[in-house]
A and B are shown apart, each in its own frame.
Chain A
Amino acid sequence: MSNELFEKAADAICDADVERAEELAQIALDEGIAPLEMIEKGYTAGINEVGRLFDRGELFLPQLMGCAEAMKSATAILKEAAAEQGSESEESIKVVLGTVQGDVHDIGKGIVASILEANGIEVHDLGTDVAVEDFIETAKEVDADIIGTSALLTTTMGVSEELLKTLDEEDLRGEFKVMVGGGPVTKRWADKIGADGYAENANEAVSKIKELVD
């Protein structure tokens, strides 16, 4: 019965059906299924499938937004129940994200932000053309786990290196993990500048962020 419910929950997310996702969350609680198990085996499996389909061009951004909304609504019900039962869910990972200064490309970064949020990660999206000091200031304000930078241009990708140097100079390098991404950015370059992580696409960013924070 649980497996069937998990599958239905995953389908509700893929179908971007907010009402159905919420209804299934309530059914799971009524049947005594552990809220966190329902999130992991049902809804998270669904949002992972959404990410996979988006990565292949089989699902589009407006649909993705609907799926993310269904995920947020259903998991909110389950997290609240988990807290009441004393089985605290893990605290959300906090990511400060932005396109680096001098670069105004926002589509790819926006997609990453959406996929991260859909996976329950708290995203503070600073937009485009973001100065190094603004990344750091916001990361301090929200007590971020990770700073994520995006650059589409070979001429702007160096700003991520400046960010790392500034964090070093201000003795903050140990406070935040830094992840880099964007069209011309590669893992080799990320390693070269000393970044903590690199992701090829939005889906990979989710798993890399979770690895880094673990």
Chain B
Amino acid sequence: MVQTRLGDGSTIEMTEEEIKADIERGIEDAVDRAKVDPLSEDEIEKLTDIYTRPSKFVSVETGNELVLTFDEGSVKLKRLAVSIGRIPDLQIYERVFCSDTAELAHVDYSFKPVKPIVAEEQIEMEQALLSTVLPIYYGAMPNLSLYSQPDGAFPNPAELLPKGKIKEAREAYEGMMEHAIKDMVYVGSKMYEAGADGINFDTTGSAGEPDFLATLKATEKLKEKYPDISIEMGMSGEFVLGMHGDLEYDGTNLAGLYPHQQVKMAEKAGVDVFGPVVNINSSETIPWNIGRTVTMMKACAEASDIPVHANVGMGVGGVPIVETPPVDSLSRASAALAEIGKQDGL
């Protein structure tokens, strides 16, 4: 028997045959939902090997190491109740965690609340850049929901839709998008001018396809203004939730797109690094979850002409929904995504 986990983090024991069968079921689910190719028999064997090794920690063969990009880095250690400022936090990412890039972020972590304090953020960015050598992004979430009531000026589509007010909900989304684009471009411009190497749009699409479209348009505008700016786009879910239902980018309806389709939209807008998400089902086993995760992530990497860095952490990328991911699951998911999922980074 081999020790593995459920998606909720609890430990379970399975035979090697059961693990392989669950990986295959997960692959079938990914193929069925995302309409992508399944993994080959060799890849299934390799994935089964990674998930049946008795080692607590699994790594990759030399030469298969990946770039490590951390989002929301300057906030995460503080969440663990470590008394630390944002700049020492970034230094730890650079010098202790060996991160290849880091991200300065504000605890509110959305572009809208950063707007009135952007001058303070510029100072922090300048000082961070003077005391580190790794590329530093400034990151926040587009968070379109902040533009509707009670937080914003527009009527709340989540309240309008159940009342059947579809036209009004769509108009609200369209207004919210315009405001969000302005804020993303404003904050992005200010932080780039303060020296940031790039901007990370994190958790894109959390309010559905209007959120995704606003971010694509903000990317276009920033790229037009600053051709050398690096834009990273991390997604919020494995498919783009259709909240408006009728929004297109480059002739493609954005609702319902899976990672291998999302990345083409991101590329078109000018994104430099794409961070796909595949969600965890907490009631299924980790072998089932990793089967579907690797299948969708591999399809995304193969479709992409830009670097793809899978989101791997609490509840995404084959990692259980627990605040501090267990090393057995995290290391296995990382190895699987590097060696089978064809990712450029994590």
The one of B7, B158, B242, B321 that contacts A60, using a Cβ cutoff of 8 Å = B242
Give the docked Cα–Cα distance between A60 and B161 (Å): 11
For the complex, what is the distance from the CA of A113 to the CA of B163, rounded to whole Å? 12
Contact A154 B323 (CB under 8 A): yes
Does B251 belong to the interface (CB within 8 Å)? no
Tell me the complex Cα distance, A158–B150, Å.
Answer: 24
In the complex, how many angstroms separate the beta carbon of A206 from the nearest chain B beta carbon? 16
A106 partner, pick from B156, B208, B242, beta carbons under 8 A = B156
Among candidates A60, A117, A183, A184, residue contacting B162 with C-beta atoms closer than 8 Å: A117
- Render B274-296 as a binary contact track against A, CB cut-off 8 A, 1 for contact: 00000001110000000000000
Inter-chain contacts of B6 with A (CB < 8 A): 188
Q: Which of A160-191 contact B (CB under 8 A)?
A: 183-184, 186-189
Verify A113–B151 contact, CB threshold 8 A.
no
Q: How far is the CA of A154 from the CA of B158 in the complex (A)?
A: 22
Q: Which of A69, A106, A114 has the most C-beta atoms of chain B within 10 angstroms of its own C-beta? A: A106
Q: Specify which chain A residues have a CB less than 8 angstroms from the CB of B8 in the assembled complex.
A: 186-189
Report A-chain residues with C-beta under 8 Å of the C-beta of B161: 61-62, 65, 110, 114
How many chain B residues touch the partner (CB < 8 A)? Answer: 40
Find out whether the CB atom of B281 lies under 8 angstroms from the CB atom of A60: no
B285 to chain A, nearest CB (A): 13
Which residues of chain B from 1 to 27 have a CB within 8 Å of any chain A CB? 6-10
Contacts of A57 in B (CB 8 A): 33, 239-242, 255-258
Contact with B along A31-73 (1 / 0, CB 8 A): 0000000000000000000000000111111110110010000
- Taking CB atoms, residues of chain B closer than 8 Å to A104 are 150-151
Bound form: Cα–Cα A63–B243 in Å: 9
**A–B Cβ pairs within 8 angstroms, 10 of them:** A56-B33, A57-B258, A60-B241, A60-B242, A60-B256, A63-B242, A107-B243, A110-B161, A186-B321, A200-B283
Chain B residues with a Cβ under 8 A of chain A: 6-10, 33, 145, 150-151, 156, 158-159, 161-162, 164, 166, 169-170, 206-208, 239-246, 255-258, 281-283, 314-315, 321, 323
Measured CB to CB, the residues of A under 8 A from B are: 56-63, 65-66, 69, 104-107, 110, 113-114, 117, 125, 127, 154, 183-184, 186-189, 200
